[in-house]
C-alpha cells in the first residue's frame, strides 16, 4: 500500500487545532468512589430509606458492644441532610465501641469475569498509604444533654483490627446542637491490602448508657493538585495523561431517570451539607460532592474545556415536559446553569454564587449540549425550538448541540452541531473509517460523543461476556476503533470533537462494560483503548495532509497530519488484518529527517489489560530509518504512529 502525500498538502485545517480528543464522563460507578476522592461510602446517609436499615446502613457496621441505626433526625444537620447515625452504647458496655465504614466495595473477594484467566482478587475498601495525610471530619450531637465528656477516637484500621492511624478528640454531652470535628490522620503502619476500615469509637465503660448522633462523616486522601473536595490523584493523572481538550459533563444518561430526580446544577454547588444528593440514573445514590463547580475547576486544572449538557425536558423513563409555560422553569434553570459558568456579573445571580466559591473569573465554555440521546424521544422538536429560542437570544456566542438524529426530526432553528453515539463490533469500526466521508458539507458539524467497540456479537451488541460482550477493551476492538478514528481525522472539517465512552469503570461493579479506564480502591488499569486514544491525542497536527486514500472497508486505514510549529509529520496506521501489511510512504517535502519514531500497540485479538495483568498490552517506541520514500511493515492487529520531521 502507498501513502502518497500531495505537494499542495497544507489545505485542510484540523479539528486538533482547538478541540478534538477528549473525555466523556458518565457516572457509572465512577464518580463517587472513583474520580471523586471521598473514601467513605454513604457518608451522609443521603437518599436512603430509614425503614430499610440494611440498605440505609450500606458500608457501616457496629464496632464492639453497641447498636447503630440510621434515623431521620429530629434536629437535622441541614434540610438537605435529614438523616443521621444513632449510636447507642448499652449499660455495662466495655472496651472500644462505635462504628466503622468499609469504604467503596469493602471486603476482599474474587470476581469471575468472562474467562478463567480473568479470575482475580480486586482491591476494595480504603487505600491506606503511609506517605499520605488524610483529612477526616464528622458532625456529632447528643439528643439529650448529659454530663458525659470523654475522648472519641477516629482511626484507620486493617480488617483484622490493626490500628494504622488514629487521633483522639474530645466530645461533650452538653452539645445537643451539631458540632463539627476535624482532624488529620497519618498512617504509621502499612497495611497488606486495601481491605481497611474507617472507625469512630469511644470508651464503652465511660460512655455506657449514652446515645450519640453522627452526621456527614468524611475522609479524604490527598487530591489532584491539592483541591479541597477534589479528585483522586491516580485517576485524575491517568485522565490528564491523555492530553484531553475537553470533558463532557455532568454525564450523559445521568441527567435524569425521572423529572423529579433529574440532575440540577444548583443542588450540586455550595456547602456540602446543603447538597441533598440524588438517586442517579444507574441505580445508586450520588452524593453530588462532585458538583458543577468541582467539574469546572477540574477542567481548569487539567487544561481542558467543558462540553456541558443541560437537562432539556426529557427523562429516561420516557416522560417529557409539555411545551409552553410548563417548560419555562426548566429552561430558566438551564439559563442559570450557564450563567453560573460564564456570567461576568459577580454581584448578583448565578455569577455571584460562583464568585462566592472562589472563582470570580468566568470559566471557559463554548459548547452546550441540549439534552442527551433525545433520539429516544418523540418530543425533541418542540423542546429544541423552545430551548433554543431562549438560549440563543441570551448567549449568541455559544454553540448549541442537538442530541436527536441528524435531520430526523427536522429541527427549527436548524441545528448546526449534533452529538453522534455509536457502540458496535470491532469489525464495524474497522469497516467504517469512511463513515463521515459522504456527509454533506452544509455547515453542520458533528461531535462523536460516545463510541466504543463493546462486543463481537453483531446480532446482540449488549449480550453477556459469554456471548461476546467485552469485560475490558480488547486489542481487536481498539484496533478497529483506531481505524474509525483515522476517518474522524480525515473528516475533521465537519467532526469537531470525539470521545470514547464510557470513561471510567469500577472493576468491582460497573453497570457497563467495557470502560476506557478501570480502577479499584488502590489501582488504575489503563486499557488497550486508552493507549489508542492517547496515541491519537498526543500526536496531533495542526493540519490534515491529503494522501492517497485507503480502501473503504479495507483492513488497512491511515491518516496523516502535521504540526507546523515542529514540522512533525504524524502518520497513523491501523492494521485490522490477521497478517502484517506493508505501507510505503512518499513524502513530497524538500527535507525529510533520516530517522523517525514508531509508537506501536499490537497484540492478540482478545488480549486485554486487567486488574490481574494491567500491563499485558502497552505501546512500545522504536527508531526507524526514514527518507522521502520509506516503508513500514504494520504488524497484524496493530496501531502505529510514525513520526518524522519534514519541511
The per-residue pLDDT for range 306-364, each reduced to its tens digit, is 999 999 999 999 999 999 999 999 999 999 999 999 999 999 999 999 999 999 999 99
Integer Cα distance of 579 and 2 in angstroms: 17
The 10s digit of each residue's pLDDT in 473-503 is 999 999 999 999 999 999 999 999 999 999 9
Integer Cα distance of 63 and 256 in angstroms: 38
What 8-state DSSP symbol labels residue 413? Answer: S
Integer Cα distance of 543 and 9 in angstroms: 9
Integer Cα distance of 276 and 44 in angstroms: 9
Which residue ranges form the domains of the chain, and what is each CATH number? Answer: 22-34+225-407+434-458+495-541 (no CATH), 53-220 (2.60.120.260)
Instruction: Give 440's contacts (C-beta < 8 A, 6+ positions apart).
Output: none
42-67 average pLDDT score:
97
pLDDT at 111: 39
pLDDT at 122: 54
Residues with catalytic roles: 373
User: Which uninterrupted H or E stretch holds 601?
Assistant: strand 595-602
Integer Cα distance of 79 and 89 in angstroms: 27
Contact between residue 375 and residue 403 where contact means Cβ atoms under 8 Å apart: yes
Q: What's the pLDDT band for 12 if we cut at 50, 70, 90? A: very low
pLDDT at 17: 38
In percent, the amount of the chain with pLDDT more than 70 equals: 94
Chain mean pLDDT for the chain? 93
Burial class (CB in 10 A: 0-12, 13-18, 19+), 368: buried
The pTM of this model reads: 0.95
Contact between residue 468 and residue 522 where contact means Cβ atoms under 8 Å apart: no
Contact between residue 551 and residue 610 where contact means Cβ atoms under 8 Å apart: no
User: Which uninterrupted H or E stretch holds 180?
Assistant: strand 179-186
H, E, C per residue of 75-136: CCCCCCCCEEEEEECCCCCCCEEEEEECCECCCCCEECCCCHHHCEECCCECCCCCCCEEEE
Angstrom distances, CA of residue 89 to CA of 58, 143, 175, 199, 200? 21, 14, 17, 15, 13
Contact between residue 541 and residue 20 where contact means Cβ atoms under 8 Å apart: no
507-522 average pLDDT score:
90
Burial class (CB in 10 A: 0-12, 13-18, 19+), 443: exposed
pLDDT at 25: 78
Contact between residue 561 and residue 35 where contact means Cβ atoms under 8 Å apart: no
Checking if the pLDDT of 178 tops 70, the result is yes
Angstrom distances, CA of residue 404 to CA of 127, 152, 313, 398? 42, 56, 13, 19
pLDDT at 107: 52
Kindly tell me the sign of the dihedral angle through the C-alpha atoms of 71, 72, 76, 80: positive
Closest CA to 368 of 329, 398, 337, 404: 398
pLDDT at 115: 39
- Looking at the DSSP bridge assignments, the partners of residue 70 are 85
- 181: its cell numbers: 470535628
Integer Cα distance of 465 and 479 in angstroms: 19
The 10s digit of each residue's pLDDT in 257-284 is 999 999 999 999 999 999 999 998 888 8
pLDDT at 23: 82
Instruction: Give 576's contacts (C-beta < 8 A, 6+ positions apart).
Output: 426, 427, 430, 476, 479, 480, 483, 555, 556, 557, 637
What 8-state DSSP symbol labels residue 460? Answer: -
Integer Cα distance of 276 and 454 in angstroms: 35
The 10s digit of each residue's pLDDT in 609-635 is 999 999 999 999 999 999 999 999 999
Q: Which residue has the cell 454530663?
A: 147
Amino acid at each position: 500500500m502507498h501513502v502518497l502525500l500531495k505537494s499542495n498538502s497544507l489545505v485542510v485545517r484540523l479539528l486538533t487545532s482547538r478541540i478534538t480528543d477528549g473525555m466523556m464522563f458518565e457516572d457509572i460507578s465512577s464518580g463517587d468512589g472513583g474520580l471523586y476522592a471521598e473514601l467513605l461510602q454513604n457518608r451522609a446517609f443521603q437518599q436512603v430509606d430509614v425503614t430499610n436499615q440494611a440498605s440505609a446502613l450500606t458500608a457501616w457496621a457496629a464496632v464492639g458492644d453497641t447498636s447503630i441505626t440510621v434515623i431521620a433526625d429530629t434536629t437535622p444537620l441541614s434540610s438537605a441532610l435529614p438523616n443521621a447515625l444513632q449510636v447507642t452504647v448499652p449499660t455495662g458496655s466495655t472496651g472500644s465501641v462505635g462504628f466503622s465504614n468499609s469504604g467503596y466495595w469493602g471486603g476482599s473477594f474474587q470476581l469471575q469475569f468472562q474467562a478463567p484467566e480473568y479470575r482475580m482478587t480486586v482491591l476494595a475498601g480504603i487505600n491506606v498509604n503511609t506517605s499520605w495525610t488524610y483529612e477526616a471530619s464528622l458532625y456529632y450531637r447528643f439528643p439529650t444533654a448529659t454530663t458525659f465528656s470523654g475522648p472519641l477516637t477516629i482511626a484507620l484500621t486493617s480488617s483484622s483490627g490493626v490500628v494504622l492511624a488514629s487521633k483522639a478528640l474530645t466530645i461533650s454531652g452538653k452539645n445537643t446542637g451539631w458540632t463539627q470535628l476535624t482532624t488529620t490522620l497519618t498512617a504509621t503502619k502499612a497495611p497488606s491490602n486495601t481491605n481497611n476500615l474507617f472507625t469512630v469509637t469511644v470508651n464503652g465503660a465511660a460512655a455506657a448508657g449514652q446515645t450519640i448522633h453522627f452526621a456527614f462523616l468524611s475522609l479524604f486522601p490527598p487530591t489532584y493538585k491539592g483541591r479541597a473536595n477534589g479528585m483522586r490523584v491516580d485517576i485524575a493523572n491517568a485522565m490528564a495523561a491523555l492530553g484531553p481538550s475537553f470533558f463532557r459533563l455532568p454525564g450523559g444518561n445521568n441527567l435524569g431517570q425521572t423529572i423529579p430526580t433529574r440532575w440540577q446544577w444548583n443542588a450540586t454547588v455550595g456547602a456540602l451539607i446543603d447538597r441533598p444528593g440524588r438517586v442517579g440514573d444507574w441505580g445508586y445514590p450520588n452524593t453530588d460532592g462532585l458538583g458543577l463547580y468541582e467539574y469546572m475547576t477540574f477542567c481548569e486544572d487539567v487544561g481542558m474545556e467543558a462540553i456541558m449538557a443541560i437537562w432539556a425536558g426529557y427523562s429516561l423513563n420516557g416522560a417529557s415536559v409539555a411545551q409552553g409555560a410548563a417548560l419555562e422553569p426548566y429552561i430558566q434553570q438551564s439559563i442559570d446553569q450557564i450563567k453560573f459558568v460564564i456570567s461576568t456579573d459577580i454581584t448578583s445571580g448565578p455569577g455571584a454564587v460562583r464568585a462566592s466559591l472562589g472563582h470570580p473569573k468566568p470559566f471557559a465554555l463554548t459548547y452546550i449540549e441540549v439534552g442527551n440521546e433525545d433520539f429516544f424521544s418523540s418530543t425533541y422538536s418542540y423542546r429544541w425550538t423552545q430551548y433554543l429560542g431562549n438560549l440563543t437570544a441570551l448567549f449568541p456566542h455559544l454553540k448549541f448541540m442537538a442530541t436527536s438524529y441528524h435531520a430526523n426530526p427536522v429541527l427549527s432553528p436548524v441545528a448546526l452541531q449534533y452529538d453522534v453515539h455509536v457502540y458496535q463490533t470491532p469489525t464495524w469500526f474497522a469497516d467504517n473509517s469512511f463513515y463521515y466521508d459522504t456527509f454533506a458539507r452544509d455547515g453542520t458539524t458533528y461531535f462523536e460523543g460516545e463510541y466504543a467497540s463493546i462486543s463481537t456479537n453483531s446480532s446482540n451488541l449488549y449480550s453477556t461476556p459469554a456471548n461476546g460482550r467485552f469485560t475490558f477493551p480488547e486489542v481487536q476492538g481498539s484496533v478497529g476503533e483506531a481505524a474509525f478514528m483515522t476517518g474522524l481525522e480525515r473528516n475533521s472539517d465537519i467532526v469537531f470533537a470525539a470521545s470514547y465512552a464510557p470513561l471510567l469503570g469500577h472493576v468491582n461493579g460497573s453497570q457497563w462494560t467495557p470502560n476506557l479506564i478501570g480502577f479499584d480502591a488502590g489501582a488504575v488499569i489503563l486499557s488497550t483503548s486508552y493507549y489508542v486514544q492517547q496515541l491519537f491525542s498526543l500526536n496531533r497536527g495542526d493540519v490534515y495532509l491529503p494522501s492517497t486514500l485507503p480502501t473503504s472497508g479495507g483492513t488497512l486505514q491511515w491518516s496523516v497530519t502535521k504540526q507546523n510549529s515542529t514540522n512533525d509529520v504524524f502518520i497513523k496506521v491501523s492494521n485490522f488484518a490477521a497478517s502484517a501489511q506493508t505501507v510505503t510512504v512518499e513524502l513530497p517535502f524538500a527535507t525529510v529527517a533520516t530517522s523517525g519514531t514508531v509508537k506501536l500497540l499490537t497484540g492478540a485479538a482478545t488480549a486485554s489489560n486487567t486488574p490481574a495483568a494491567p500491563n499485558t498490552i502497552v505501546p512500545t517506541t522504536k527508531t526507524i530509518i526514514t527518507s522521502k520514500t520509506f516503508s513500514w511493515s504494520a504488524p497484524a492487529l496493530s496501531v502505529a504512529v510514525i513520526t518524522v520531521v519534514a519541511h
